[in-house]
A and B are shown apart, each in its own frame.
Chain A
Amino acid sequence: MPHNLNLSIMIEIKDLHKSYQMGSNSLHVLKGINFNVNEGELVSIMGSSGSGKSTLLNILGMLDEADSGSYFLDNIPIKNLNEKIAARYRNKFLGFIFQSFNLINYKNALDNVAMPLYYQGIKRKERTDKALHYLEKVGLADWATHLPNELSGGQKQRVAIARALASEPKVLLADEPTGALDTKTSYEVMDLIQGINDEGKTILIVTHEEDIAHMTKRIVNLKDGLIIDDGIVEQVRANSYV
């Protein structure tokens, strides 16, 4: 498989710290995280709630900033970002998949997928073509003109995945992508994510579900702000359940 070859390091994190001020108390959430992700990996980050896994993902997603430590994304240092640069990096390098889908509810599936392209300054015609292509990829071409509230949970998440792919990012970041879905739909979504990974896309998934984690190729376990376990696992193919 291509990701087993000597590929470039996509994410490189060294000694990452993050605390939150909670009134007069300081809550130390990340206490020195070191970890690398190679291009083409499919990694799950696990941990109980409060372990810091979402904070880590937010920092990776440039939605939040670390207090100290370094973060390189495809050899680009991610630090001291102002809003403008952060927005451009997010748009160029990252695709987000959220637990609650976060589609814009007054825009139809196609327009939702096309939105990152709008912020890339791509013309309407090309936007529509590309968006339709990615909707096809997630199997929802026939639903292009439907509004999010006319779609099922699984369909919404697939629109969100298409949207994350549309900007052709280097990394997909998924925060509990199956958290709002039933088991069967979860596996369908994981099947889609595995397919995308098979094509070489680097994907990070935050989850607390064991079965979802085992559908990735590597599990990173977080506890109290530290990585306690990081290992390659035998990937379970989601389609074997369906």
Chain B
Amino acid sequence: MFNIERWQEIFETIRKNKLRTFLTGLSVASGIFILVILLGVGQGMQNGIAEEFEGDASNSIWVWTRPTSVEYKGMNPGRFFSMTNEDFDFIHKTNEDVIEYESSRVRIWNATISYKKESGSYRIEGVFPGFQFIENQSMVSGRFINQNDIDEKGKIVTLGRKVKEALFKNGEDPIGKYVKLNDIPFKVVGVYTDKGGEREEEQVSIPSTTAQQVFNRGQNINNLSYTLKPEKDFETAVAKSEEFVASITRYLKNKHVIAPTDDRAIGIGNSLEQAKRFYSLIFMIKAFFWWVGVCTIIAGVVGVSNIMLIIVKERTKEIGIRKAIGALPSSIIGMILHEAIFVTAIAGFTGLIFGLILLEIVGPMVKTDFISNPSVNFNIAITTVFILIIAGALAGFFPAWRAAKIKPIVALRDE
């Protein structure tokens, strides 16, 4: 391999056979180039789609109740039931390690909210501090509900931006003012906006405990909301969230005496399930690009093999001459392989570098909705180059081996 004489011989052969070398190199380089571009675009699509869905809190789960649909333990279907604080506390206790943010919700539909002479009909949400993060609400001014408010059942309220605009005309600062919720005065502590849309801003939030007390809901809650802690990869996240959903469903069914077969009574929304569908779309796209890439590599390998066959055929006479003047069969095979590996390696890396350069230059400029920052895993690219080199060597070996076996007298025979 590091025989200088051999290298000189190879360089000379390559220099004297430029077209042949160029054609071999071209098929290898273009194969690698196309593969790199394809993989890059595939990655770009993944990035693009991931960005599209990043905006939503992708791992939120919410639970609500509906009338039962299956007769169970002597109870008729169509029974209404309600989750309670006890449920919320139990789930909190048993799933503490996976829950990131949590909030129960006590809903009061169509409450009349007024400030001075202005009034309107809005929804009241009795919530926990975690609600702000689950709903991705951000404060315009003041603060959100805190644990202290929950514990003290404080009569405080945060207003949605729309509510604030409707009640506080002339740009009056609402913080510290009292608004009336169904004629009960609450102190305004903050104003929030929600990217989720105007509907989300046409409501007010008060502490969950306050809502139960003031609006006479006892221990009942309408709704549970959670986000789960981030996991190291998407598959684990999906698995954890499914496990979490299964565990709370099991608990709630048991607690509220609902048939295990009743799929209607407990409603569960899992945004991760939806995200999963997009991720499987991405997976399909990537698989497609891989498929095309692998086909490209196969085409490249076939191309290299063909060229190697032709090269050896073309050099049969030369091989005969070399053998007649004393070349060993091993040196013939070595010469052809050495040249083949050298050419495919140089060409492969050239294609790789050109592909990477193109991605590097054009990549950041591509900014459509579904392709973003196309790039390629360098290890994968390197691996394919080596696969191609090995394939080229194998493709060259068999004809070279056969050529080295030919008796010089046959190779030298004049046609």
Contacts and interface: CB of A to CB of B under 8 A. Distances in A.
Interface of A: 58, 61, 63-64, 83-84, 87-88, 90-92, 96, 98-100, 102-104, 106-107, 111, 115-116, 118-121, 123-124, 163, 167
A107 B16 contact: yes
B1 interface: no
A90 B409 contact: no
18 contacts: A58-B409, A63-B324, A63-B412, A84-B328, A90-B323, A90-B325, A90-B326, A91-B325, A102-B317, A104-B321, A107-B16, A115-B322, A115-B325, A119-B327, A119-B331, A124-B5, A167-B325, A167-B326
Nearest to A92: B326
A105 to B, nearest CB: 8
Contacts of B404: 83
Contact of B329 (A87, A102, A111): A87
A63 B408 contact: yes
Contact of A91 (B16, B17, B326): B326
B333 to A, nearest CB: 11
A146 to B, nearest CB: 14
B328 to A, nearest CB: 5
Interface stretch (B6-14, B88-96, B283-291, B359-367): B6-14
A6 B66 CA distance: 122
Contacts of A98: 412
A102 B324 contact: yes
Given A102-B317, A119-B326, 11 more contacts: A63-B409, A64-B407, A87-B327, A87-B328, A90-B324, A91-B326, A103-B321, A106-B16, A107-B16, A111-B12, A119-B331
B120 to A, nearest CB: 92
Among A84, A87, A123: residue with most chain B CB under 10 A: A87
B409 A64 contact: yes
B233 interface: no
Contacts of B12: 107, 111
Interface in B1-48: 5, 8-9, 12-13, 16-17
Given A63-B408, A102-B321, A106-B17, A124 B8 contact: yes
A111 B324 CA distance: 16
Interface of B: 5, 8-9, 12-13, 16-17, 317-318, 320-331, 404-405, 407-409, 412, 414
Contacts of B407: 63-64
Nearest to B317: A102
Contacts of A106: 13, 16-17
B414 A116 contact: no
B5 A118 contact: yes
Contacts of A83: 328-329, 404-405
Given A102-B317, A102-B412, A124-B8, A119 B16 contact: no
B328 A88 contact: yes
B18 to A, nearest CB: 10
B322 to A, nearest CB: 7
B335 to A, nearest CB: 11
A167 B405 CA distance: 23
Nearest to B315: A104
A118 B407 CA distance: 21
A91 B16 CA distance: 25
Contacts of B9: 118
Contacts of A96: 324-325
A120 B331 CA distance: 12
Nearest to B13: A106
Contacts of B321: 102-104
Q: Which 9 A-B pairs have the closest CB atoms?
A: A91-B326, A106-B16, A63-B409, A119-B326, A116-B325, A87-B328, A83-B329, A102-B321, A90-B326
Nearest to B6: A118
A119 B8 contact: no
Contacts of A90: 323-326
Contacts of B17: 106
B17 to A, nearest CB: 6
Given A107-B12, A107-B16, A124-B5, A119 B325 contact: yes
Contacts of B320: 102
Contacts of A99: 414
Nearest to A57: B409
Contacts of B405: 83
A88 B331 CA distance: 12
Among B5, B322, B326: residue with most chain A CB under 10 A: B326
A167 B325 CA distance: 9
A107 B12 CA distance: 8
Contacts of A163: 325
Contacts of A115: 322, 325
A111 B16 CA distance: 12
A74 B9 CA distance: 32
Contacts of B331: 119
A155 to B, nearest CB: 18
Contacts of B328: 83-84, 87-88, 119
Nearest to A89: B326
B24 to A, nearest CB: 16
Contacts of A123: 5
A98 B327 CA distance: 17
Contacts of A107: 12, 16
Contacts of B322: 104, 115, 119
Nearest to B414: A100
Nearest to A147: B16
Contacts of A84: 328-330
